């Protein structure tokens, strides 16, 4: 056993207790379907397939607020993921249509946090919750920016205000 102080650890939960609850708030809703290619041997969505869904929902949410991600990258600012934490509460069966709900959850220095809830179309099942953290990177220098570009910060602040 090592001193694992640097390993990212989530607060403990008991998977047999404490069912998570749907949160209210100002969420952007992105519908997806559990197509065959997202599933694994168990007939449910493979845990890694969710990561693509989180990204798609985030990119579409930004697009709705006027930030075209491909253009942002073309302009020289990338927004790579530096942290990702996800809890899988219930499996998603092949063919299920689910809603990926996301909202920008605050800016902390250059860190931009996004929260997620993946739920059933009828809102009765919460399949997963997640948080993803992005930082701005200057593509030319290959370094994390010391502050967010003003246009990005403005748009994200509007996102936070709903």
28-67 positions binding a second copy, by CB under 8 A: 33, 35-37, 39-43, 46-48, 51-52, 55-56, 59-60
Q: Which of 6, 14, 40, 138 is catalytic?
A: 40
Residue 70 interacting with a second copy (CB under 8 A): yes
> Rounded to whole angstroms, how far apart are CA atoms 149 and 162?
20
DSSP for 100-129 reads EEEEEEEEETTEEEEEEEEEETTS--EEEE
Site string for a second copy, 136-155 (x = CB under 8 A): ---x----x-x---------
Q: Would you call 138 a catalytic residue per the annotation? A: no
Q: Are strands 77-78 and 28-33 parallel, antiparallel or unpaired?
A: unpaired
Q: Count of residues binding a second copy (CB under 8 A)?
A: 77
Query: Cα 121–12–27 angle (5° rounding)?
Result: 30
Task: Considering only residues 105 through 134, tell me which ones interact with a second copy, judged by CB under 8 A.
Answer: 105-106, 108-111, 115-117, 129-131, 133
């Amino acid at each position: 056993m090592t001193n694992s102080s640097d390993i990212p650890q989530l607060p403990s939960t008991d998977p047999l207790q404490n069912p998570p609850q749907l949160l209210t708030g100002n969420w952007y809703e992105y519908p997806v379907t559990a197509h065959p290619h997202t599933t694994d041997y168990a007939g449910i969505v493979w845990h890694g397939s969710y990561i693509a869904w989180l990204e798609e929902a985030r990119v579409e949410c930004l697009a709705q607020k006027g930030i075209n991600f491909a253009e942002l990258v073309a302009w020289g600012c990338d927004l790579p993921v530096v942290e990702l934490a996800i809890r899988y509460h219930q499996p998603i069966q092949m063919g299920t249509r689910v809603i990926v709900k996301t909202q920008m959850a605050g800016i902390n220095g250059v860190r931009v946090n996004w929260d997620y809830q993946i739920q059933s179309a009828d809102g009765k099942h919460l399949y997963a919750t997640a948080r993803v953290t992005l930082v701005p990177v200057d593509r030319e220098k290959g370094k994390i920016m010391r502050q967010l570009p003003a246009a990005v910060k403005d748009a994200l602040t509007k996102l936070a205000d709903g």
